C-alpha cells in the first residue's frame, strides 16, 4: 500500500492540489492536523480532503477555528488569521473539523498533530522529548507535524538519532520512530516547496517529497482576504 502523509496544510489549496497531483495514485491519505489557519482557502482544503477520503487528526489551529480556547495562545498574526477563518468557514467545514479526533491509530502508526502525549501542543524538537514520546506511544511508529519541519527521530541501540530528510530522502521502517512529513502549506525549513511523505507499506520504506506550487497565486489570495502581511511574505522564503 502507498499511503500519503500530509500535515500543516493551513488552508493552502494550491499547495495541496500540487502535492496530490505530484503523488498521483495512492491507496490512502493520512493528514496530521492544522488543516486550516494562516491561508486563504479553508473551505476548499476541507472539501478536497473530504473528496479524496483523507483520514486524520485535529491540530491546534483546527481546534481554535471551531471556537476552542486554543486561540488565547496564538501570536497576533496567527490569531488574526484564525478570527478570519472563524468568520468565513461553512457549516460543512466546521462540522468536518469538529469531527477530527486528537489521536488516530492505523495499524502500526499513531497519528497526532503535536506529539503522542500532548497531541495539540507539544513540539518534538529535541532528543529527550522524542525519547519521552517513544516511551509513551504504544505503536511502533508515530506520525506527527506541528513544527513544519521534516524529521525522523529513531531509536537505535537505545540512543535517539535524528535525520533531516530532503527531497527524495528515504527511511527504512524498522525499530521504532517518530516521523514528521514537514508542512504542505507553510514550510519552515528555508525551502518554500511543499513537503510531504509517502509510506510504502509493502517495502517498509518512507520517502519524502518536495513539491513546487504557485506561491504568488496564494499570496495574491491572502492579500485579497486581508490576511497579515508577514504570513503572506513568509511563504516566499519557507520560514
Measured from the CB of residue 157, what is the shortest distance to Zn ion in angstroms? 33
Size of the site for Zn ion (CB under 5 A): 2
Q: Which is nearer to Zn ion, 8 or 122 (CB)?
A: 8
Q: Which residues 117-156 are close enough to bind Zn ion by CB under 5 A?
A: none
- 14 vs 173, which CB is nearer to Zn ion? 14
Contact between 52 and 45 under an 8 Å Cβ cutoff? The reply is no
Residue 173 or residue 196: which is nearer to Zn ion going by CB?
196
Smallest distance, Zn ion to C-beta of residue 6, A: 12
Of residues 11, 34, 85, 228, which one binds Zn ion by CB under 5 A? 34
**Residues of span 3-22 touching Zn ion by CB under 5 A:** 8
Rule CB under 5 A: is residue 70 a binding residue for Zn ion? no
* Closer residue to Zn ion (CB): 63 or 221: 63
Least Å distance, CB 33 to Zn ion, is 7
Q: Residue numbers of the site for Zn ion (CB under 5 A)?
A: 8, 34
Amino acid at each position: 500500500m502507498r499511503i500519503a502523509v500530509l500535515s500543516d496544510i493551513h488552508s493552502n489549496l494550491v499547495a495541496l492540489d500540487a502535492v496530490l497531483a505530484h503523488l498521483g495514485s495512492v491507496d490512502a491519505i493520512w493528514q496530521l492536523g492544522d488543516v486550516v489557519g494562516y491561508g486563504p482557502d479553508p473551505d476548499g482544503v476541507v472539501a478536497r480532503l473530504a473528496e479524496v477520503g483523507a483520514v486524520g487528526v485535529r491540530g491546534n489551529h483546527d481546534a481554535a477555528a471551531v471556537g476552542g480556547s486554543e486561540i488565547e495562545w496564538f501570536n497576533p498574526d496567527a490569531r488574526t488569521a484564525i478570527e478570519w477563518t472563524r468568520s468565513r468557514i461553512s457549516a460543512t467545514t466546521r462540522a468536518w473539523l469538529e469531527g477530527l479526533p486528537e489521536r488516530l491509530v492505523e495499524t502500526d502508526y499513531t497519528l497526532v498533530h503535536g506529539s503522542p502525549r500532548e497531541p495539540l501542543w507539544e513540539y518534538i524538537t529535541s532528543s529527550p522529548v522524542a525519547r519521552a514520546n517513544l516511551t509513551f506511544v504504544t505503536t511502533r511508529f508515530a506520525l506527527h507535524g506541528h513544527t513544519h519541519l521534516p524529521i525522523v527521530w529513531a531509536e537505535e541501540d537505545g540512543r535517539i538519532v535524528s535525520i533531516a530528510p530532503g527531497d527524495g530522502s528515504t527511511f527504512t521502517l524498522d525499530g521504532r520512530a517518530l516521523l514528521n512529513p514537514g508542512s504542505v502549506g507553510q514550510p519552515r525549513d528555508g525551502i518554500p516547496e511543499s513537503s510531504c511523505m509517502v509510506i510504502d507499506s509493502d517495502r517498509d520504506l518512507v520517502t519524502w517529497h518536495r513539491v513546487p506550487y504557485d506561491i504568488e497565486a496564494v499570496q495574491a489570495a491572502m492579500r485579497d482576504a486581508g490576511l497579515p502581511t508577514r504570513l503572506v511574505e513568509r511563504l516566499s522564503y519557507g520560514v
